Amino acid sequence: MVHETAESLVFLDRRPLFPGHCLVVPRAHVETLDELPDPLVGPLFSEVRLISRAMQEALDAAGSFVAMNNRVSQSVPHLHVHVVPRNPKDGLRGLFWPRHPYESQDQARLVRDRLSQAIREILAQR
């Protein structure tokens, strides 16, 4: 165990990208970010930020990479956030998948508008 709070646990990944790669998990069992109760969002991401800072100080990392899968490619059915120490020229290439640019500005605007509408609907349900 690297660190723990009343809301979360932090431990080393058993298959790290680099030494110090940690997982931050909520103690409450939730499978996805979508299910994380609002009162736990702040504490979880405060812990992620703390671990990122600690990596930079303890491991002389220049920065960190923070990532989470949400359903697709999620290796275990419990929400977890990867915090990975980073340094220039460490061999990790940004995001691990090819980029797919928008076909046009119209397509980008359509996607933006659909997302904005979904956000308004989700917020109206609260």
8 Å CB contact between 35 and 68: no
Q: What is the pTM of this model?
A: 0.84
- Quick: pLDDT tens for 47-93: 999 999 999 999 999 999 999 999 888 889 999 999 999 999 998 87
- Give backbone dihedrals phi and psi of 108, rounded to 5 degrees, phi first: -60, -45
Residue 31: name the closest of 99, 62, 77 by CA: 77
Q: Give me the domain span that covers residue 31.
A: 3-100
48 within a domain of the structure (yes/no):
yes
Say what the pLDDT of residue 114 is.
84
Establish if 50 belongs to a structural domain.
yes
| Cβ count near 51 (within 10 Å) | 23
- The total number of structural domains that make up the chain: 1
- C-alpha 51/C-alpha 12 separation (Å) is 11
